Amino acid sequence: MAMEALSSMLCKTRSDKLIKGIQTPNNSPVLSHFFYADDALLLGDWEMDNLKNVARVLRIFYLCSGLKINLQKSNIYGLGVESGEVSDMAKVIGCKMDSIPLTYLGIMVGANMNKINNWTPIIEVFNKRLSTWKAKTLSIGGGLR
């Protein structure tokens, strides 16, 4: 429920044009955030005002819910941005800077997927999940031949 409240806050500030998400091609939806359990990925234009407004939303979320964002565990990434500029933005928020490609929920994001070796971690994740599924669904009798 808490993440739903944070999502609503981000959507409202985006609709009020206080934060700017990423416009997807062909007039598709604007993306500003993804959530999975207690993990969040926030997206937006590389502007100081945008960054400060996102930080304000996170602060208001903390004041309303009591759930504080751990900025020491958070990273900021800049696509097509000089590393010095990313470092400056990280200092403003109080988080760490990092670079692309990154691993999000065990999947490599931002790597050149035309290279076969960049698919290895994804294949390993699927193989692990499939082996767990197979172990749960196959009977001992069905597995012996």
State pLDDT tens for residues 46-88.
999 999 999 999 999 999 999 888 888 899 998 888 999 999 9
Q: Which of the two residues, 111 and 50, has the higher pLDDT score?
A: 50
Q: Residue 33 class from Cβ within 10 Å (0-12 exposed, 13-18 middle, 19+ buried)? A: buried
Q: Which among 2, 51, 91, 93 is positioned nearest to 43, based on CA atoms? A: 51
Residue 145 has pLDDT above 60, yes or no: no
**Mean pLDDT for the stretch of residues 109-122:** 80
pTM of the model: 0.71
**Mean pLDDT for the stretch of residues 117-127:** 82
d(Cα 14, Cα 120) in Å, to the nearest integer? 36
> Which two structure tokens, joined as six digits, stand for 71?
């900025």
93-106 pLDDT, tens digit each: 889 998 888 877 77
Q: Is 98 helix (H, G, I), strand (E, B) or coil?
A: coil
Q: Residue 32 class from Cβ within 10 Å (0-12 exposed, 13-18 middle, 19+ buried)? A: buried
The pairing of beta strand 39-42 with beta strand 75-76:
unpaired
Tell me what pLDDT residue 49 has.
93
Tell me what pLDDT residue 52 has.
92
Q: What residue spans define the domains of the chain?
A: 2-102, 103-145
Q: Which among 40, 39, 67, 66 is positioned nearest to 54, based on CA atoms? A: 40
> Which two structure tokens, joined as six digits, stand for 77?
């990434």
> Which two structure tokens, joined as six digits, stand for 21?
């998400």
